[in-house]
Amino acid sequence: MNAQELQSLRNLGNECEEAADEIERLRAQQAMLMAAHEFVKQERDALRDAQRQAVRLLDKPQSSKQVTGYECIHCGAAYRPTDEQCPRCKAYEARRVTK
């Protein structure tokens, strides 16, 4: 084998190594894209489910119960619906009292 043939084989070997490196890089990129695609699909499905649930909640008939007052969850005092806070302990957290 002469020097020119030997150099051609070396060049061919180098090209094969470069091609193998490119294939490895493309496979890694493909794996990353597939993982991102799967993540996007899961997020899309979760969003779609949340939207459907919101529509169902909005479509529910409104309660016919009328709020007659509030009961403070801290001290138990009852007060009118027009009051913003408990007259006894001044808390804002309360339960609705309905008919």
Answer whether 77's CB lies under 8 Å from 90's CB. Answer: no
The strand ranges marked E within 1-99 are 67-72, 78-79, 94-98
Question: 98: which residues sit within 8 A by CB, 6+ positions away?
Answer: 63, 65, 66, 67, 68
Residue 68 has pLDDT above 80, yes or no: no
Q: What percent of the chain has pLDDT over 90?
A: 52
Query: Can you give the pLDDT at residue 64?
Result: 65
Query: Can you give the pLDDT at residue 67?
Result: 67
Q: What is the pLDDT of residues 9-47, one digit of tens each?
A: 999 999 999 999 999 999 999 999 999 999 999 999 999
Q: Which residues pair with 69 in a beta bridge?
A: 97
Overall pTM surpassing 0.75 (yes/no): no
Better-predicted residue by pLDDT, 96 or 46: 46
DSSP conformational letter for 84: S
